[in-house]
Structure 1
Amino acid sequence: MSDQPIASFYTLPLELIHYIFGYLDAKTIVRTFRSICKRFYIAVKTYDQVKLDFNSISKSDFLFLCNFIESKNIESLTLSDRDETPGQIEYFLSFIRIKYFNRLRSLTLLEIDDCYLNIILKDIQTLTLNLLSIHSKQDYSQSNTSTNAFSLALSLPNLYKLKWNISSFDLSKISWHFNNTIKHLDICCRTLDEYCNILYHLPNLQSLVVEQWHETVDDDTIDKWSNLKPFHQLLSLTFKYCSIDMIILDSLLLLTPTLEQLRLIRAVDVHVFLSHLQQWEKFVETKLPSLINFECFLTEDLLYFDNPHPIDTELLIAPFRKPFWTGTKSWFVICDHIVCPRTVILYTPGSFDPQFEYVYESKEILRSTSAPTITNTIVMNGVRKMRMDLTKVMTAATSPQGGLSNNIVFPQLDELTLCISQQWLSGSLRVLSTLIDLSRLVKLSLTINNSFYYFSKPRKISILNWIKCEQSSQEDDNEVLSFPIHHKHAGDSHLSPVQTFDDIEKTILDAFNQALKLTQPLEISKLLKEHDIFELNSLSKYVFQ
């Protein structure tokens, strides 16, 4: 009999255990591995590449991780003041300052207030930060904090990737520094002057993402371009969420002749792009010889295609079947016509915009240049948000002709809005599970068809009961819809990663009862009745203006 010890997970070297931790989130590492044995406790305690993502985390997990993990072991940190986690950044800074995270390499701040942004950016001046990402929809236009903060960010000596997604940010007020190391920049840029300043002051820049471009063509703009010299450092360029004239697009691309990758994400209308397609092909061939990769996601509502007849998707996709697209460049394009609402989407494979709410219609028409026809069995990996009329889907699913795919079409869906009738239709959950990977859903919203009224509390409870009953009848089929725990109601329920429908119903009832306790002493109902604005229709005049 061999005396050689049997290999097991418990006998792995510490370095290999830490390598495995790299594939796990911080909550799993701390909550699970720490409690197994003393050796794993030490392995967790000494792991110095922790990635903390506090976006949409439960309150109990947030407090636990803040208290357990030492700042010296954190490599990546995400803080969020979004609606799901209000006040998180303020609490975190009261607990510990960022300047003590001496191993921090990546920092992401979501919906941060300008005063906290300034504090954090001063703190990170002594850190060797490589990636900084700021996202905020707040109005910074009346504050100089954001411009000062941006200058601080530019001066970080080891920063190579900067995402500065502040929509109200005024780039024209920036004091630029030449001694920076930024290679990747994502920023709101609206004018030619701002665009040229970026390229001029960032000589190491290789990848640029431009959002919210607004400048239009006029004589002054054309005169500016005629005197500009090209910049040769940029290899990848993306335009997102704007409306660019094709003349301006060509002029901007002339400034970066060494481009290898170009992405247009809802940056040009479909009909504008199609009308200039032939000229654009010649432009790419003659002016952008190094362009290898082209990606696009373009949309158009059918106000432009103003006729009651179905759109000829084959006609729209035909120009992309030319040898330039399918042979010379191997750039394949998909045209998606959604019948209701009437929308045309033109995109390259793998380039679906995750911020776009896809409206599912079982009668959609798809065409692609990689094959004569694509049916509804195409896998839509890029779709993250979707709206679906459940009544229409169930009608198609139960019709003699069928009409739905037997394979999951939306495997990566995060948010789903269901438009339903007055009751939950039997068999709906099973039908949904044939289209969607329900286990990945983060957010589920319910709306009533053809109605702007809110669900009453009993109606919400009733619908949840219907869903629960249907779920119970198929609990052995691995087609179960689960919901993440919302941080405000998580309490100490950290042992389970999902809520049951009983938990959801209890949350609704508890919130309702709590609302009653708060409002009854104020006699709000009595006051509203005295002024004849107790009904929802009359009250909405004051709420939604």
Structure 2
Amino acid sequence: MSLEQLPNKVLLTVFSYMNTVDLFRAFHHLNERFDTQLKVHVSTHKVDFRWITKRAFDVFCRTSLGLIDTNVTSLCLSDDVEFPNLFHHFLLNPEQNFVIDPARILRGFDEYGHRILRSGIRFTMSQFVNLKYLHLDVIDFFEPVVQLLSECICLSHLTHLKITQNMNSYFTHAPRIVNAVWKLPKLTHFRFLSMNTMNISGVTLSRCTSRTLLSFSLERIDISWAQFFNLLEDSPNMTHARISICETAEVPAIMQIIPSITNLNLTVGYVPNVLAHIFDLMPNITHLTIEFKDASSFEYEFFNGHKWKQIVLHHLPNLKVFSFFYVFFARFDTTIEQDVDTLLATFRTPFWLDERQLFVQCDWLPEHGGKPVLFYTLPQTCGYNYSIHPMVKSRSTHPAVDRDSMLCGVPSMNFSKSLGYINRCCSRSVQNIQNAELMVELPVQEYVWRFISTFTHFTSLSVRLTRMNHPSQLQQLINLSPNCHSVTLSNISPAKLVELDINQTCLRRIALVEYTFNAVECSAFANSPLGKQCTILQIDLTDRRHVLVLLDEMPRLQQLTCKCSDAKWDIDESLADENQDEVQWLQERLPKTYSINYVEDSFVRIWIV
């Protein structure tokens, strides 16, 4: 049976398994029926520019996007390491008001240091009149974001906005971003995620009222209590909030009661009286998640089940779901076990076990004095990283902990010899975790490996080899997950790298760190199983000419990020004439369609056509 014979419903189901850009490249303009169903598909599925080549991006923008822009409801623009400069190529005439090092501006480049796209096909957000969901992923430059958000004011259907960024300088521009977001006429959900912890508590945020905003999340972005309540006062219908409070933040003397908040996710220092006062100002909280950011010495009178029972009964009358994550250090005059048993006993009461059905757990390393104790509710939902160590002990109030359900929504797992918290006697299963990152230091002992081997759903892998002659576990680990698309390898020699027999076909992004490759090693890697399927590569090179070797011998390569050692250019007089800016040197030797620019830490990034 051919695709033309499939009913429309089945055809749309087939379409749903493909990236929208690839889908249009395969089926657009084949016949009228396919074109109609493609428009139906794009009205319910994301146009995601994170997973395509530059050539596919250019072709899609030239031949398809302008014809379906009014049908697009979900859009993702990225400036990630995999897809550099796409944001600038997409947006029409991005503002260029910030300072750029003049030495980085070369002929054929714009003020950002990016090669000028020759196609001339660019868009404005006003063209996407039915856009509902917008995701700006790892945007490095601030001004284009502000321009884009200002254009979104005319979008009457835009309800969801997510921004992921990795620039510490964003805090100086926070007022303009907040002001632009709060002005969006129909926005209901806003999530702002910083890749690095950022403190904007000293910045005065703009005041602009939004009566449509229902949920906002500022992750890894510290603000003050005053800023938080100002945002809530400017959003009278807000029900969900996720925020991190600066450790030095003081509670203003006068704050307005916020009856609309029902779901609060809070990262804050533990000050019981302050929290009780804050909860009094939000009397309708039903779901509360707290991550206490500052580890402190164990103070039984301040943190225990009896204290939290009083807080819940007197300050959280409508609370239904409660979870927390707390780190403390055991007292010097007692053993860790004594402090843990004392603390757990206060949560083994009918109030917590029967009425609230809340269970807690403590994890610690017994052989290391002064090491922290992790104390959290089950299942663990707080934190960005879950670390695992084979010697960690655990105690819980749960009568029979279901190890299959104790890790919910944990985005990252770290297996290490010096970090982590797990009882090695427990065969915890983590198969319920999806789209997570796995970090491992190899080799590991057999009982740890048995546990790791159950974790087959990770999509990103970071590995460091402590002994160069043990690559077998690395090979098994890479082949373990059929969904792993990214791997970072540290401290591994090219000789061991080329020996790996990889049968994992999804892997496309490889970062090689803590080793500098010469010409022979570059060629060996390019012709290895890993090199042959690699499309995104980060690597350190002894010589900039090795870039040409990699590009010549890796035909599938779409993007290359590299750092080239300058030592050879300083001592080799025969190369003196070529001792010039790396970007300019590469520009003169590579096709004009390649996009070449500097990124942080002196890396050069090449987007390949």
Q: TM-score normalised to the size of structure 2?
A: 0.66
Which is further off, 69-78 or 343-352?
Answer: 343-352
Which runs of structure 2 are paired with 1:374-523 in the superposition (5 Å)? 375-380=425-430, 381=432, 384-391=436-443, 393=444, 396-397=445-446, 402=447, 405=450, 408-425=453-470, 427-429=472-474, 432=477, 438-448=481-491, 459=493, 461-468=494-501, 471=502, 480=504, 483-485=507-509, 500-503=529-532, 514-516=544-546, 523=569
SS of 1:347's partner is: strand
Which runs of structure 2 are paired with 1:77-96 in the superposition (5 Å)? 77-94=75-92, 95-96=122-123
| 2:46 equivalent to 1:51 | yes
Which is further off, 167-176 or 414-423?
Answer: 167-176
Which is further off, 131-140 or 105-114?
Answer: 131-140
CA distance in 2, matches of 1:42, 1:519: 53
CA contact (8 A) 1:334 1:347 kept: yes
CA distance in 2, matches of 1:80, 1:442: 17
RMSD value, Cα = 4.1
Note the alpha carbon deviations across 1:143-167, whole angstroms, 9 max, x for none: 5x54234223212221111224463
What fraction of aligned residue pairs are identical, expressed as a percent? Answer: 18
CA contact (8 A) 2:441 2:466 kept: no
| 2:314 equivalent to 1:264 | no
Per-residue deviation, 1:194: 1.4
Gaps (5+ residues) in structure 2?
Answer: 93-121, 404-424, 512-527, 548-563, 574-600, 603-609
Gaps (5+ residues) in structure 1?
Answer: 1-6, 449-454, 488-498, 528-541
CA contact (8 A) 2:90 2:123 kept: yes
CA contact (8 A) 1:77 1:106 kept: yes
Q: Which amino acid aligns with 1:377?
A: S
CA distance in 2, matches of 1:412, 1:340: 32
Per-residue deviation, 1:525: 4.1
Match for residue 281 of structure 1 among 305, 309, 313? 309
Matched with 1:4 is none
CA distance in 2, matches of 1:51, 1:273: 50
CA contact (8 A) 2:79 2:140 kept: yes
Q: Which amino acid aligns with 1:134?
A: I
Relative to structure 1, is the Cα distance of residues 73 and 485 closer, same or farther in structure 2, using a 3 angstrom cutoff?
A: farther
SS of 2:161's partner is: strand
| 2:350 equivalent to 1:330 | no
CA contact (8 A) 2:135 2:163 kept: yes
Higher-helix-fraction structure: 1
Alignment length (residue pairs): 473
Relative to structure 1, is the Cα distance of residues 285 and 170 closer, same or farther in structure 2, using a 3 angstrom cutoff?
A: closer
CA contact (8 A) 1:134 1:163 kept: yes
CA distance in 2, matches of 1:30, 1:366: 52
Relative to structure 1, is the Cα distance of residues 424 and 317 closer, same or farther in structure 2, using a 3 angstrom cutoff?
A: farther
CA distance in 2, matches of 1:215, 1:15: 57
Which is further off, 46-55 or 151-160?
Answer: 46-55
Q: Which amino acid aligns with 1:136?
A: Q
Match for residue 397 of structure 2 among 340, 364, 369? 369
Per-residue deviation, 1:516: 4.8
Relative to structure 1, is the Cα distance of residues 75 and 509 closer, same or farther in structure 2, using a 3 angstrom cutoff?
A: closer
CA distance in 2, matches of 1:481, 1:424: 25
Note the alpha carbon deviations across 1:262-308, whole angstroms, 9 max, x for none: 112354647668642221221102221210011223445x6x66699
CA distance in 2, matches of 1:346, 1:503: 46
CA distance in 2, matches of 1:61, 1:330: 52
CA distance in 1, matches of 2:568, 2:282: 63
CA contact (8 A) 1:84 1:486 kept: no
CA distance in 2, matches of 1:306, 1:169: 37
SS of 1:466's partner is: coil
Per-residue deviation, 1:90: 0.9
Q: Which amino acid aligns with 1:387?
A: M
Matched with 2:280 is 254
Matched with 1:196 is 229
Relative to structure 1, is the Cα distance of residues 290 and 296 closer, same or farther in structure 2, using a 3 angstrom cutoff?
A: same
Note the alpha carbon deviations across 1:89-123, whole angstroms, 9 max, x for none: 11111421222111211112233422101210121
CA distance in 2, matches of 1:407, 1:321: 32
Relative to structure 1, is the Cα distance of residues 54 and 193 closer, same or farther in structure 2, using a 3 angstrom cutoff?
A: same
Note the alpha carbon deviations across 1:331-360, whole angstroms, 9 max, x for none: 22233335798554333345445632x433
Per-residue deviation, 1:504: 6.4
SS of 2:223's partner is: coil
SS of 1:47's partner is: helix
Matched with 2:185 is 157
Relative to structure 1, is the Cα distance of residues 344 and 466 closer, same or farther in structure 2, using a 3 angstrom cutoff?
A: farther
Q: Which amino acid aligns with 2:426?
A: N
Which runs of structure 2 are paired with 1:127-276 in the superposition (5 Å)? 127=155, 128-140=157-169, 146-165=174-193, 167=198, 169=200, 173-178=204-209, 180-187=211-218, 188=221, 190-216=223-249, 221=251, 224-225=252-253, 227-240=254-267, 242-267=268-293, 269=295, 275-276=302-303
